[in-house]
């Protein structure tokens, strides 16, 4: 336990419970940023690059897990803030789910020689574009946490974050529509494809779509902070 107290992250936690959350989100976002490159390598049938990217994603996911674990072990039982301890733990859990989802996608792609059905490429690109947008919005929300604390979760900063939350919710709704379209397109051509590959493509699409759900859950957690 002594070693834990000398951890730099533990020191940050003593100063602010939000600093480690921000550090964690930066690692998670670095993981998510590799997603377009991963799909691009798959499109080009470059399985070596897919494997290399999957390894990078795995390393980032491990680092995110380390930060999350340190955060949970070093968080005091009570906080001198109007923010509930369990809400903070739920927030970092949702952030961590981002990295978990990207790692799952990379593992599927690296463990199998996946062929991208031509019919769903356009929809996949649209889904990825929306996912990167909402991931960026989620990262930006977390970067505002310190400012929110300084102003006591009120004032102009409160309004800024409220607009960010609304933007995330709007993006999640748009991604949900794209997700339905991609799944429908895959359904129309699945008889022409290998059944096992079809199953894995539905899984990949589901995992990509779940990233926006985690972003919306993060927005809901921040809304709780603002309402207390």
pLDDT in the model for residue 6: 46
| CB burial of residue 68 (10 Å; 0-12, 13-18, 19+) | buried
Considering only 81-85, 170-174, 214-218, which range has the smallest mean pLDDT?
Answer: 81-85
Alpha-carbon span 222 to 154, nearest angstrom: 13
**Entry pTM:** 0.87
Three-state DSSP at 154 gives coil
Residues 1-53 have pLDDT tens digits of: 334 444 444 444 455 778 899 999 999 999 999 999 999 999 999 999 999 99
The residue with tokens 């947008």 is 133
Mean pLDDT estimate for the chain: 87
Cα separation, 156 vs 160, in Å, equals 6
Query: How much is the pLDDT for 117?
Result: 94
What was the pLDDT predicted at 43?
Answer: 96
35 contacts 102 by C-beta, under 8 angstroms:
yes
What's the rounded Cα separation, in Å, for the pair 162 and 153?
11
What's the pLDDT tens digit per position in 131-174? Answer: 999 999 999 999 987 776 655 555 666 778 888 899 999 999 99
Residues 6+ apart with CB under 8 A from 175: 127, 130, 131, 134, 209, 212
Q: In the block, which residue shows the tokens 């603002």? A: 226
Looking at residue 159, its pLDDT comes to: 77
CATH second-level architecture of 2-227?
Up-down Bundle (1.20)
Q: What is the pLDDT of residue 5?
A: 42
Residue among 150, 183, 17 at smallest CA distance from 92: 17
- The closest alpha carbon to 139, from 24, 44, 10, 225, belongs to 24
């Amino acid at each position: 336990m002594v070693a834990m107290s000398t951890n730099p992250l533990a020191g940050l936690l003593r100063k602010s419970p939000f600093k480690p959350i921000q550090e964690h989100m930066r690692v998670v976002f670095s993981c998510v940023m590799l997603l377009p490159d991963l799909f691009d390598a798959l499109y080009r049938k470059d399985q070596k690059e897919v494997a290399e990217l999957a390894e990078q994603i795995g390393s980032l996911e491990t680092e995110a897990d380390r930060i999350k674990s340190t955060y949970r072990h070093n968080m005091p039982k009570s906080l001198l803030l109007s923010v509930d301890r369990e809400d903070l733990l739920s927030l970092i859990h949702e952030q961590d789910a981002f990295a978990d989802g990207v790692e799952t996608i990379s593992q599927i792609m690296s463990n199998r020689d996946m062929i991208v059905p031509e019919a769903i490429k356009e929809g996949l690109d649209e889904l990825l574009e929306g996912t990167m947008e909402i991931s960026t919005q989620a990262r930006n929300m977390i970067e505002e946490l310190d400012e929110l604390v300084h102003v006591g979760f009120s004032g102009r900063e409160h309004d800024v974050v409220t607009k960010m939350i609304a933007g995330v919710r709007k993006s999640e709704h748009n991604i949900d529509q794209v997700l339905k379209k991609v799944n429908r397109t895959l359904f129309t051509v699945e008889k022409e494809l290998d059944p096992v590959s079809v199953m894995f493509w539905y899984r990949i699409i589901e995992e990509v779509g779940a990233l926006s759900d985690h972003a919306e859950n993060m927005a809901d957690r921040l809304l709780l902070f603002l309402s207390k």
